[in-house]
Chains A and B, each alone.
Chain A
Amino acid sequence: GAVVSQHPSWVICKSGTSVKIECRSLDFQATTMFWYRQFPKQSLMLMATSNEGSKATYEQGVEKDKFLINHASLTLSTLTVTSAHPEDSSFYICSTPPSRSGSAYNEQFFGPGTRLTVL
């Protein structure tokens, strides 16, 4: 199956700094990536959808200026947390969207996630 990687797997930063998280599709081209946020012991919440060659679309309540998403190529999507604060500490996961071929469904593949800790 498709492989999605994320880098870094864990990052600690000081409050006020910016952090970039990379999401790469290793063996396929992805025109779209989903970005999720997961607080401890909670479910995944979709933050935004990155689109290669166009602007990202954000879910309601997600600050566009805080979470900058760029889909630089067909294999790379990035999430930059700008001016990070302790409340931004969370687990961030990217994934491919599900795809369909006729009536068949193709699996959605998740990256391994990035744990962000803001001091």
Chain B
Amino acid sequence: AQTVTQSQPEMSVQEAETVTLSCTYDTSESDYYLFWYKQPPSRQMILVIRQEAYKQQNATENRFSVNFQKAAKSFSLKISDSQLGDAAMYFCAYLPNFGNEKLTFGTGTRLTIIP
């Protein structure tokens, strides 16, 4: 079974600074997707960024980028120029490319932005 681990229950960062959230996962599959979801106080789940495992290039979405290390099964999220609106719970998630279409979520990291 796949597992997703987020070892940082809470993180904080000064506004405009950069922060990195960690995620590791365990799978025997070679083809899969990885995601970072944001859950702000409204609790609406918002997709931040997606990475296909077969792509070596790290995904980037504006101020959000990932460091995908397939061999190490690591998938960290870097948020640059942190803004107050980035304050939220961040969940790392895994999805196999075939068969089971169910996301496996990590336990989450609560990110606080310090003004």
Chain A positions within 8 Å of B, measured between CB atoms, are 34, 38, 41-44, 46, 49, 91, 93, 95, 97-98, 100, 105, 107-108, 110, 112-113, 115
Contacts and interface: CB of A to CB of B under 8 A. Distances in A.
Contact of A34 (B33, B44, B47, B102): B102
Interface in B34-50: 42-45, 47, 50
Nearest to B46: A110
Interface residues on chain B, size class: 10 to 19
A60 B74 CA distance: 28
A10 to B, nearest CB: 11
B101 interface: yes
B101 A97 contact: yes
B107 interface: yes
Given A43-B91, A43-B107, A97-B101, A105 B43 contact: no
